């Protein structure tokens, strides 16, 4: 009786198969990018309209609607986040940060309530039961004024725009990966590179949506924002490019 020998060596993927898989990745990334940009068109237009009203508010005032309200509640709370980092040499380390949040709840004329995080300075002025002036845009509360202090909030269109921009950045990453690299070296490295790539977008997308809604900051505020963005984006970029050593 003869026994057939079976090789335990992994099968090599032929060059045409690898090329086909890369073009599938390219097509997937391009599809996500185009869909995200198309989805962002409506929120972008609405955010620009909000920006025009905000510019009017700063110039002549009373360009937003107003509604009397009251402070129905206030509280502080903390959140702790732990992040695990892996450098290019494979070493891992963790960082832990704790953030204090200041939250107020206002009540509108119809009895509905809404809670939002605010700055510590506005929180100190907003005592429970105090009257507040709510600033409205298309029926949405986009600002609150209490005891001479005020804070503005990004409208829903701005938040939606930010989500579409994150998706577009993700699609761009998939597209570039398929065009420039396209190899597969494990699920962990895929997750690591995806996290690093998306981390690079956090501050730029946030700054972009704020600039479209409120306009670019000036002076020291602009310099500080740019420095923060370059610092954190640079860290994520260094981790990402350090992992691109090939299979």
Per-residue pLDDT of 153-174, as tens digits, reads 999 999 999 999 999 999 999 9
pLDDT at 3: 42
- Residue-averaged pLDDT of the chain: 87
Q: Are 144 and 114 in contact (CB under 8 A)?
A: no
pLDDT tier at 8 (50, 70, 90 boundaries)? very low
Task: Tell me the average pLDDT across 203-218.
Answer: 91
DSSP state, residue 60: T
Residues 210, 89 share a domain: no
Residues 176, 116 share a domain: no
180 within a domain of the structure (yes/no):
yes
pLDDT score of 45 more than 80: yes
pLDDT score of 22 more than 90: no
Residues 164, 129 share a domain: no
Last residue of a domain, one of 152, 187, 203: 152
pLDDT tier at 4 (50, 70, 90 boundaries)? very low
25 within a domain of the structure (yes/no):
yes
pLDDT at 76: 95
Token pair, residue 106, equals 């206002």
CA-nearest of 2, 21, 123 to 73 is 123
Provide the residue range defining the domain that includes 34: 15-45+156-242
Distance (Å, rounded) from C-alpha 80 to C-alpha 60?
Answer: 42
7 within a domain of the structure (yes/no):
no
51 within a domain of the structure (yes/no):
no
Distance (Å, rounded) from C-alpha 198 to C-alpha 236?
Answer: 9
b vs e for 150-161, b when ≥16 Cβ sit within 10 Å of the residue's Cβ?
A: ebbbbbbbbebb
pLDDT at 136: 96
In percent, the amount of the chain with pLDDT more than 90 equals 60
- pLDDT 10s digits, 69-94: 999 999 999 998 766 666 556 666 67
pLDDT at 17: 62
pLDDT score of 11 more than 50: no
Least confident of 120-124, 132-136, 201-205, 240-244: 240-244
57 within a domain of the structure (yes/no):
no
Residues 161, 147 share a domain: no
pLDDT at 80: 86
Last residue of a domain, one of 130, 152, 174: 152
Token pair, residue 218, equals 């000036």
Q: Are 131 and 67 in contact (CB under 8 A)?
A: no
Distance (Å, rounded) from C-alpha 146 to C-alpha 42?
Answer: 33
- 231: which residues sit within 8 A by CB, 6+ positions away? none
Residues 107, 94 share a domain: yes
pLDDT score of 54 more than 70: yes
pLDDT at 97: 80
| Bigger pLDDT: 48 vs 8 | 48
| Bridge partners of residue 41, in order along the sequence | none
188 within a domain of the structure (yes/no):
yes
CATH number of the domain enclosing 119 = 2.40.50.660
Last residue of a domain, one of 152, 167, 188: 152
10 within a domain of the structure (yes/no):
no
Residues 197, 238 share a domain: yes
Residues 234, 115 share a domain: no
Phi, psi (deg, nearest 5) at residue 111 = 95, -10
Per the document, the length of the chain is 247
Number of domains into which the chain is organized = 2
6 within a domain of the structure (yes/no):
no
DSSP assignment of 129-173 equals: T-EEEEEEETTEEEEEEETTEEEE---HHHHHHHHHHHHHHHHHH
pTM: 0.80
pLDDT at 183: 81
Look-up: residue for tokens 């990966």? 177
């Amino acid at each position: 009786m003869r026994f057939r020998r079976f090789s335990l060596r992994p099968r090599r993927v032929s060059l045409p198969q690898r090329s086909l898989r890369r073009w599938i990745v390219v097509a997937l990334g391009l599809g996500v990018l185009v869909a995200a940009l198309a989805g962002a068109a409506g929120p972008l237009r609405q955010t620009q309209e909000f920006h025009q009203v905000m510019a009017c508010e700063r110039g002549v005032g009373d360009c937003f609607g107003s509604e009397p309200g009251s402070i129905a509640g206030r509280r502080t709370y903390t959140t702790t986040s732990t992040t695990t980092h892996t450098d290019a040499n494979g070493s891992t380390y963790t960082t832990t940060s704790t953030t204090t949040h200041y939250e107020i709840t206002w009540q509108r004329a119809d009895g509905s309530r809404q809670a939002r995080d605010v700055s510590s300075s506005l929180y100190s002025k907003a005592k429970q039961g105090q009257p507040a002036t709510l600033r409205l845009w298309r029926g949405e509360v986009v600002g609150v004024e209490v005891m001479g202090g005020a804070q503005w909030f990004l409208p829903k269109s701005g938040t939606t725009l930010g989500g579409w921009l994150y998706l577009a950045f993700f699609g761009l990453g998939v597209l570039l990966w398929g065009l420039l690299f396209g190899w597969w070296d494990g699920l962990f490295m895929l997750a690591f590179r995806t996290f690093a790539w998306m981390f690079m977008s956090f501050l730029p997308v946030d700054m972009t949506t704020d600039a479209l809604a409120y306009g670019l900051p000036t002076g020291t505020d602009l310099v500080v924002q740019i420095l923060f963005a370059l610092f954190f984006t640079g860290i994520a970029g260094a981790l990402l490019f350090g992992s691109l050593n090939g299979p």
